[in-house]
Amino acid sequence: MTKNYRVTLLPGDGIGPEIMAVAVDVLNIVGKKFDINFEFQEALIGGAAIDATGEPLPSATLDTCRNSDAVLLAAIGGYKWDSLPNHQRPEAGLLGLRAGLGLFANLRPAQILPQLIDASTLKKEVVEGVDIMVVRELTGGIYFGKPRGIFETETGERRGVNTMVYSESEIERIGRVAFEAARKRRGKLCSVDKSNVLDVSQLWRECITKLGKEYPDVELTHLYVDNAAMQLLRAPKQFDTIVTGNLFGDILSDAAAMLTGSIGMLPSASLGATGAGVFEPVHGSAPDIAGQDKANPLAQVLSAAMMLRYAFNEKAAADCLENAVLDVLQRGYRTGDIMSPGMDLVGCRAMSAALINSLGGI
């Protein structure tokens, strides 16, 4: 029987519409192969929404997202809206979307593709075979804890304050996402904290350890964040899935992603307890190359693959899309951002055609 999924498309700004068109084309092909029907609905976010409605996240967009099974987002932002006050900028649309959908878990894979190994700044023998998933808590910790602000003391000196805070339930729910993700991967989870200094991290470690008893098939380890940063650069292959809080995750997920060396290749997923998750590339709207047919659509396509895997549990379809990406790289096609000598330089549209060709052959 044909399965039906409602997907909200948020192309956004800059290269967003160009790379989204590629993702929609390949999803439709994969859908036909695996008896899946995608009901796409497009909505406005970011600068495009500001221009049309005056708001970066119109309520109609949030409603559409809430009524769908998943949200596929491209990117927002651009020079045109840079001078607006913070709460009216395109980025506010993104934060509003995460808050509005209760997305507390951010999943960022960092995988070295053999075809792009030279893009990494690290030695080949260090990064070869790296395949890491960083699960970052997204709506708590020091980015949201109170009190926060810049306060004047009695002596007239100013003090800047932020508060790192996690409750047991917040730790448990991100922990569950991470254990489940580890189960879908190689069954290893490393929890990162700073429990030798921070009380909040002691609670974190206690809760994750307790939760681990429910997942005896997942091998759980713990690292202090400073050591984790060092190990990521020294011996990244030791990691499978990493779980950590908002601040540590922000830094470590960028470090892990950069092991791969190519921003145009990195997908991500943000998930809540229930309802639609948001699947999007890690990169921004690349206004410097927008409208020039130079964008790399592969991170967007890999985000669509994550949607198939994590939102719909369509493993075979996700594998098919990921294999098509590997195949175009294997055949030597490269957009400018991942170009290396001897390869075939193509634009976004030609990369799309190559993907479609690969899907026909897989």
Least Å distance, CB 337 to ligand NAD, is: 4
Q: Which of 108, 194, 283, 309 binds ligand NAD (CB under 6 A)?
A: 283
Least Å distance, CB 114 to ligand NAD, is: 20
- Verify whether residue 250 is a known catalytic residue: yes
Interacting positions 285-344 with ligand NAD (CB under 6 A): 285-289, 295-296, 299, 335, 337
* Contact stretch for ligand NAD (CB under 6 A) within 133-141, 282-290, 301-309, 339-347: 282-290
Interacting positions 63-122 with ligand NAD (CB under 6 A): 75-78, 91, 94
What is the 3-class SS of the chain, one letter each residue?
CCEEEEEEEEEECCCHHHHHHHHHHHHHHHHHHCCEEEEEEECCCHHHHHHHHCCCCCHHHHHHHHCCCEEEEEECCCHHHCCCCHHHCHHHHHHHHHHHCCCCEEEEEEECCHHHHHHCCCCHHHHCCCEEEEEEECCCHHHCCCCCEEEECCCCCEEEECCCCCCHHHHHHHHHHHHHHHHHCCCEEEEEECCCCCHHHHHHHHHHHHHHCCCCCCEEEEEEHHHHHHHHHHCHHHCCEEEECHHHHHHHHHHHHHCCCCHHHCEEEEECCCCCEEEEECCCCCCCCCCCCCCCCHHHHHHHHHHHHHHCCCHHHHHHHHHHHHHHHHCCEECHHHCCCCCEECCHHHHHHHHHHHHHHC
* 263 part of the interface to ligand NAD, by CB under 6 A: yes
Q: In the complex with ligand NAD, which residue's Cβ is closer, 141 or 264?
A: 264
- Verify whether residue 194 is a known catalytic residue: yes
For residues 216 to 255, the per-residue mask of contacts with ligand NAD, x marking binding by CB under 6 A and - elsewhere, is ----------------------------------------
Q: Catalog residues that contact ligand NAD under the rule CB under 6 A.
A: 15, 75-78, 91, 94, 263-264, 280, 283-289, 295-296, 299, 335, 337
Q: Which residue numbers are catalytic?
A: 143, 194, 226, 250, 254
